[in-house]
Structure 1
Amino acid sequence: MLFLHGYTGGRFELEPTFKYLKKRYDFDYEFPVYPGHGYTLSLVGLAGDDWYQEAEKAYFNLTKRVDEIYIIGYSMGGVFASYLAQNYHVDKLILIALAFDHTKISKLHRLNLSSSVVKDHLRYNMIRRVSPRLKNIPLRAMNEFVKIVEAKTGDLRKVTCPVIFIHGKIDLLVPYQASVKAHEQMPNSQLFLLEHGPHLLMFTEEKLLEANILVERFCFKGSQEKTL
């Protein structure tokens, strides 16, 4: 199983899902961190291709050890995952908060947020999670994110393996409509929209559990759990 995190993120974004699955099932895996990413950001001088190539290298490392390839991609990692599935063999694809679109911070007011959405974000304290990292993102790195997403979108109709989309309906960073549109183009996909689910699902206990259960059922339905 290949775990691909998002832009300016790291393993911490998918680690809760990884641990949830690993406690229950035995599987081999790759869990790369893109150059300049992780708990401490250092994105100066890096290009989007550097990030994608790390994901692609991890894919090929995994193919040397396993016969079945499942990819879980979060946000930008979902873009990379779908592109890998267009060009190489993938058995199952899980796309969480797929980042084929993004909301500019300066244009948040255009979303016409309801009071309930604002309350949810205050309750989850999402601003505290995001704001400390923003100062470490140079403008060039943001441009590289936009460029690599455009370069790795490809033709989604080429993704023929089973796919599930998971997206929170109060995602302020990547509108859930991005997953809706992609789902419509992938012939063998299912879409799950999580009510009150933000972009950073890993920091929300209830929504994270919902997502983990969806991933588990999709990947391991009919499989025997490990004896705990």
Structure 2
Amino acid sequence: MPVLPGAEPYRHEGGEVGVLLCHGFTGCPQSLRPWAGYLAERGLTVSLPLLPGHGTRWQDLQVTGWQDWYAEVDRELRELRQRCEQVFVFGLSMGAALALRLAAKHGDAVRGLVLVNPANKVHGLSAYALPVARHLVRTSKGITSDIAKEGVTELGYDKVPLHAANSLRNLFQLVDGELPQVTQPMLLLHSPQDHVVPPADSARILSRVSSVDVSEVLLEQSYHVATLDHDAERIFDQSYAFIGRLAPSIGKKGSTTGG
């Protein structure tokens, strides 16, 4: 199945500091592409993969699950580690949940985390109905393009396949149990006005991780897809400063070469 124009994965070979960016559920790399480009322009090695089942048609997402999405970012992290001295993981929404799991599982291989409107739970009655409803109804309404900035849209599906949504619910439960294993420095940015993920998710993540070096930033001008919204440049600048504080060699060419 052809990838939608604009949904392609993105990679840039830069210096010895690398960043893995993880996009959200039913979305694609387009939501993080400006962020990735910003980092690439500043000499970082960047990987922004397209998660399985995403960026094509919703029917493809219907036959995937969290194991497929996590396996993709896990593989990308391992590849970055072969080419870079230090690797940071950034994530939006579900991508932040994937980033947290990478941090819990890989320990020191992840130097730090930047999370934007991280998702931690499927809320409301739908959370309890999903295991049964997915066998009766194939899809629900889409969740993309929650953006305050006029004229900006997120490239993603207009429907949410419920089999995949149920798998997402299972991922959130798994990651929630692993949060105490997360010890890395963390920058968490979230929007008080978010129509997809409530602020309670950020609060729970902050209360459960074992990280000591933690910064929380409110994105007052943006909705859920803040990386394409009014606060985008602020996210980019603060994430770059976060890396610079933890990795002084930022932008330097690495001694290792990658394939």
Q: Report the equivalent of 2:115.
A: 95
Point out where structure 2 has 5 or more consecutive residues left out of the alignment. Answer: 1-18, 128-145, 253-259
> TM-score, length-normalised on structure 2?
0.72
Q: Report the equivalent of 1:54.
A: 72
Q: Report the equivalent of 1:144.
A: 167
| 2:240 is aligned with 1:216 | yes
Q: Report the equivalent of 1:159.
A: 182
Q: CA deviation at 1:208?
A: 0.9
**Alpha-carbon spacing, 1:200–1:104, altered in 2? closer, same or farther (3 Å):** farther
Counterpart of 2:219, as a letter, is: L
Q: Report the equivalent of 2:16.
A: none
Matches within 5 A, 1:68-217: 68-88=86-106, 89-103=109-123, 124=149, 129=153, 133-135=157-159, 137-186=160-209, 187-188=211-212, 189-204=214-229, 206-217=230-241
Runs of 4+ with >6 A deviation: 223-226
Q: Report the equivalent of 1:113.
A: none
**Alpha-carbon spacing, 1:191–1:123, altered in 2? closer, same or farther (3 Å):** closer
**CA–CA separation in structure 2 for the residues paired with 1:20 and 1:50:** 28
Q: CA deviation at 1:159?
A: 1.5
**Alpha-carbon spacing, 1:202–1:104, altered in 2? closer, same or farther (3 Å):** farther
Q: Per-residue displacement from partner, 1:82-109 (whole Å, max 9, x unpaired)?
A: 11111112111111111103455989xx
> TM-score, length-normalised on structure 1?
0.81
For 1:73, what is the secondary structure of its paired residue?
strand
**CA–CA separation in structure 1 for the residues paired with 2:249 and 2:147:** 39
Counterpart of 2:20, as a letter, is: L
Q: Per-residue displacement from partner, 1:25-76 (whole Å, max 9, x unpaired)?
A: 2122322111111254421321221111111111111111112111111111
Q: Report the equivalent of 1:118.
A: none
Q: CA deviation at 1:175?
A: 0.8
**Alpha-carbon spacing, 1:130–1:63, altered in 2? closer, same or farther (3 Å):** closer
| 2:48 is aligned with 1:31 | yes
Structure with greater proportional helix content: 1
Structure with greater proportional strand content: 2
**CA–CA separation in structure 2 for the residues paired with 1:47 and 1:20:** 30
The number of residues matched between the two structures is: 209
Counterpart of 1:212, as a letter, is: F
For 1:16, what is the secondary structure of its paired residue?
helix
Counterpart of 2:111, as a letter, is: D
**Alpha-carbon spacing, 1:81–1:32, altered in 2? closer, same or farther (3 Å):** same
> What RMSD over aligned residues (CA atoms) do the two structures have, in Å?
2.8
**CA–CA separation in structure 2 for the residues paired with 1:54 and 1:16:** 21
**Alpha-carbon spacing, 1:97–1:35, altered in 2? closer, same or farther (3 Å):** same
| 2:20 is aligned with 1:2 | yes
**CA–CA separation in structure 2 for the residues paired with 1:170 and 1:216:** 24
